Amino acid sequence: MPCTQDELRAQIQRRRTFAIISHPDAGKTTLTEKLLLYGGAIRLAGSVKARKAERHATSDWMEIEKQRGISVTSSVMQFEFDGFHINILDTPGHQDFSEDTYRTLVAADCAVMLIDAAKGVEAQTIKLFHVCRMRSIPIFTFVNKLDRAGRDPFELMEELEKVLGIHACPVTWPIGTDGDFQGVYHRFSRQVELFEGGDHGKTQAKARFLPEEDIAAQLEAHYVDKLRSDVELLDIAGDAFDLEKVQQGQLTPMFFGSAMNNFGVESFLKYFLAYSLPPLPRHAGQEEIPPDSPNFTGFIFKIQANMNPAHRDRIAFLRVCSGVFEKGMEVKQASTGKTFKLAQPQSFMADAREGVETAYPGDIIGLFDPGVYALGDTLYQGPRVEYDGIPLFAPEQFSRVSTLDSLKRKQFVKGISQLAEEGAIQVFRRQDAAFEEIIVGAVGALQFDVLKVRLEGEYGVDVNIQPLSYSAVRWVRQSPLELNKLRLTSSTLIAQDRQGRPVLLFDSPWQIDWALENNPGLQLGDTAPR
């Protein structure tokens, strides 16, 4: 039976789709794991750097992630909690994988910003925060690692304002910040939540709730005195809670806890669901498409090869923006006008998946991709819709990559092509060079390590990676002459991207300026034309 408008709106209202952003090592993947634990999606929480007898974090499913204890690709996890349908987008924290994070943020309706209590606002957090601010999405702040000695919470609030330019309103407040974390004070209910030790965060933490007037009997006097002094100062000088400002991305609710020990995680999740927004209208050129539009629309924000090593498959991740997705439906691709039947849709718990019959705005589904989808593609029914494109980032690191075994050319070409389609690397080739030797560009150097490991593990190809001196690539938008007749510095390289579009590779910004000054009419772009 087709979904009625009222049923559609009810499904939209219970959707929450958010990304978790932070600097590396702030505990982002750990927090994701603990949200899954409280949501009932897993029974036992894993760790990012697991011992042999322990399980790894659910979101770190790649072999290289398990080996190195870092997230190198974003993961999608879905679960039900308190009547809400939640889609978590766990993003890599390391700056070398930031382009994956940027793309993922486009699919999110809000963000959870994780901050290390001892370190405060760090460089990568600043970059990701500004991406969120540009999209005016709500930002919720979770100050993590309160089980260790950390900075004064007032200092952290001030830093949020000075460095990020956003005011913070604490919803919970820590009791004990010198490695003696006791619990949190709930400002609006005037209750204290006291935490008890557990099994190092593997299962849900035990907590006791007490009314404000009873805390003197449960806590030492210095904790009580400090809490009362802090709360009085917050009430007098702090920013008032304004839900409208929160939902406009102008004010961040602030929470405190320890993801490792599960302290404060459940209360944070409940507050977040109460204050965050369901899916909202999305821009498509000059128009806004409301989520309750009767016509299905969505866009592809991520492509991942080899999630199932046995089948060497390729999955395109689609964010549903409007209408109802149904298994087997026919849709059009905005970029080509082609029609596709979406026959094998899947939902995810990292790399684990199950079939999907229906999905609603805010949901993330995986589509089997035989090589027809590209990042940013819009799929739609009804009148043509094309959502605003996903930003592509120019690589800043370059290496020459070649196969050590010429007999494995086919596997090499396939591996490079599929990994390039994910968007983590960009491929360039000199016009006179064979495909056995190509130039790979990436945002960060660690991407080359990942490329080598994945080509060896997923495609059975050993490669040689030789770093190059280039630091910038520019796409040739318009040229007054044939490229080989342009006046260029001797080290500037003329090449082509994967689609055959002409590019120039430069060693320095000075070389770019020199090329433009000495070739009137030459027009260069720092991103590939769509």
Cα 421 to chain centroid, rounded: 18
CA distance 395 to 407: 30
Domains of the chain, first to last: 5-275 (3.40.50.300), 282-380 (2.40.30.10), 397-525 (3.30.70.3280)
Q: Which residue is listed with tokens 């991103």?
A: 527
Tokens, residue 60: 């770190």
pLDDT above 70 for 430: yes
Pinpoint the alpha helices (H) of 187-283.
221-237, 243-247, 265-275
At 450-462, the pLDDT tens digits run 889 888 988 899 9
At 87-135, the pLDDT tens digits run 988 765 445 455 667 778 889 999 999 999 999 998 888 888 887 887 7
At 260-314, the pLDDT tens digits run 888 999 999 999 999 999 999 999 988 999 999 999 999 998 888 766 555 557 7
pTM: 0.77
- What is the average pLDDT across 498-526? 93
CA distance 388 to 378: 9
pLDDT above 80 for 27: yes
CA distance 40 to 397: 42
pLDDT above 60 for 45: no
Highest mean pLDDT among 193-207, 288-302, 383-397, 413-427 belongs to 288-302
**Residue 176 CB-half CA count within 13 A:** 21
Question: Would you state the pLDDT for residue 395?
Answer: 84
Q: Strands 437-442, 397-403: parallel, antiparallel or unpaired by DSSP?
A: antiparallel
Nearest CA to 423 out of 374, 461, 466, 465 is that of 374
Question: Would you state the pLDDT for residue 99?
Answer: 64
Question: Would you state the pLDDT for residue 68?
Answer: 47
